[in-house]
């Protein structure tokens, strides 16, 4: 019945399941046109995987990615071999990739750019798309060696605002911008035209989305905002893990870096990762999280937690150039050069709430409350 067919075997994720899969493989070699073995990540079998939120579209992608079984290949229950230190250092690693923007964004990375509403996430990421599409330093600071094929997918802001900001960047750059090959857009208006919901890009139309990105050979996908793709409660760890799996498929299939806008909590948290809205599983999977907050005189303070070398804190600021506007890296404002402790005590003493100042400065609320209490006690 299976002679001449393409067969994919999905074994149970235990030793008896793998042994049975090996027996099936041996019986099909030389009969089936192709044989593949796929172990589903994080599940003991197909039923368990579907109950945990796996979809048909994700399963089809995993099957397409599974490698064909070849005669003489190690068995399904292959022996684990530890790698000697010299061999480990000498071998090429799959995740050794160059910078898209040096000191900010490696190729193939997944980064989250989070902050409160209207703090400037979308605008800053549009500037990132503009700069990398032009092949110019990101935010005027982080070196870019060539134009990067970038897709800016805006599922939150009105299209008119995005067009206005992009036009201001063009005017500030003397009318010069990325060419059609290096910057592409997709907005809510395009979704409405297709009669699609945002979350369908990560579900029933994921493969269409991947195909569109691959056709353009996109190297950097900027997506605003992450919550548009969620299909359940943001704080649910399983919902977050399903989205993480989808993002992994998206990144692996397109080989592009992902820069994802996300919202942050109102309350100050102990870490940048915990500051993100919803489950911390979203930030835990990312290679870096950049948390954006307001600082003095219109500056935006970016705090970073990252697996790759990047400044822990840097600042961005809008800069008027002619009749246009850019977002640029900036030296720290005068206020930030004072200690956070002194700034907080001064502002709270002037009547601002501890919660507001702690959020602005990126100081954990518990620490801010202690500083304010100690300052009052010393008066």
Locate the domains of the chain by residue range.
Answer: 1-91, 99-333, 338-377
Q: Enumerate the β-bridge partners of residue 224.
A: 154
Q: What pLDDT shows up at residue 103?
A: 95
Residue-wise burial string across 232-255, b where 16 or more C-beta atoms lie within 10 A, e elsewhere: eebeeeebbbbbbbbbebbbebbe
Q: Are 46 and 40 in contact (CB under 8 A)?
A: yes
DSSP 49: H
Helix (H, G, I), strand (E, B) or coil at 229: helix
Q: What pLDDT shows up at residue 23?
A: 83
Mean pLDDT by 10 residues, the chain (379 residues): 82 80 82 82 78 79 78 59 84 77 95 92 97 98 97 95 97 95 96 92 90 95 88 78 87 92 81 76 84 85 91 93 96 70 84 82 80 79
Task: Name the pTM for this structure.
Answer: 0.70
The closest alpha carbon to 252, from 288, 206, 200, 194, belongs to 206
Residue 4 burial (CB < 10 Å; 0-12/13-18/19+)?
Answer: exposed
The 10 Å Cβ neighbour count of residue 105 is 24
Q: What pLDDT shows up at residue 367?
A: 81
Sign of CA dihedral 293, 124, 104, 171: negative
Alpha helices in the chain (DSSP H): 15-28, 46-51, 56-65, 85-90, 121-134, 159-172, 188-194, 206-215, 237-254, 272-275, 281-285, 334-337, 340-349, 354-361, 365-377
Q: What pLDDT shows up at residue 72?
A: 59
Q: Does domain 99-333 have CATH number 1.10.760.10?
A: no
């Amino acid at each position: 019945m299976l002679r001449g067919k393409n067969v994919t075997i999905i074994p149970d994720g235990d030793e008896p399941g793998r042994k049975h899969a090996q027996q099936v493989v041996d019986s099909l070699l030389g009969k089936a046109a192709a044989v593949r073995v796929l172990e589903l990540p994080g599940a003991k079998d197909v039923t368990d995987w579907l109950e945990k939120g796996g979809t048909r579209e994700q399963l089809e992608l995993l099957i397409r990615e599974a490698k064909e079984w070849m005669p003489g290949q190690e068995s399904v229950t292959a022996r684990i071999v530890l790698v000697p230190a010299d061999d480990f250092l000498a071998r090429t690693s799959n995740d050794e990739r160059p910078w898209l923007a040096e000191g900010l964004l490696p190729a193939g990375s997944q980064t989250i750019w989070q902050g409160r509403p209207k703090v400037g996430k979308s605008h800053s990421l549009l500037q990132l798309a503009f700069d990398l599409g032009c092949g110019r330093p990101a935010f005027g600071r982080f070196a870019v060696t060539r134009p990067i094929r970038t897709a800016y997918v805006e599922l939150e802001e009105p299209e008119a605002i995005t067009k206005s900001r992009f036009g201001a960047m063009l005017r500030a750059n003397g009318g010069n911008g990325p060419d059609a090959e290096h910057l592409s857009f997709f907005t809510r208006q395009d979704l409405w035209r297709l009669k699609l919901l945002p979350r369908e890009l990560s579900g029933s139309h994921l493969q269409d989305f991947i195909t569109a990105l691959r056709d353009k050979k996109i190297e950097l996908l900027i997506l605003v905002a992450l919550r548009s793709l969620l299909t359940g409660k943001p704080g649910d760890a399983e919902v977050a893990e399903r989205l993480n799996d989808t993002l992994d498929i998206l990144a692996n299939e397109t080989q592009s870096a992902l820069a994802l806008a996300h919202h942050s909590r109102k309350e100050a948290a102990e870490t940048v990762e915990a500051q993100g809205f919803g489950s911390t599983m979203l930030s835990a999977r990312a290679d870096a999280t950049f948390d954006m907050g307001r600082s003095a005189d219109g500056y935006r303070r970016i705090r970073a937690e990252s697996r790759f070398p990047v400044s822990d804190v840097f600042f961005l600021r809008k800069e008027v150039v002619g009749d246009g506007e850019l977002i640029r890296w900036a030296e720290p404002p005068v206020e930030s050069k004072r200690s956070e402790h002194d700034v907080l005590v001064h502002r709270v003493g002037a009547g601002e709430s501890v919660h507001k100042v702690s959020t602005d400065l990126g100081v954990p609320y518990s620490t801010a409350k202690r500083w304010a209490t100690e300052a009052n006690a010393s008066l």
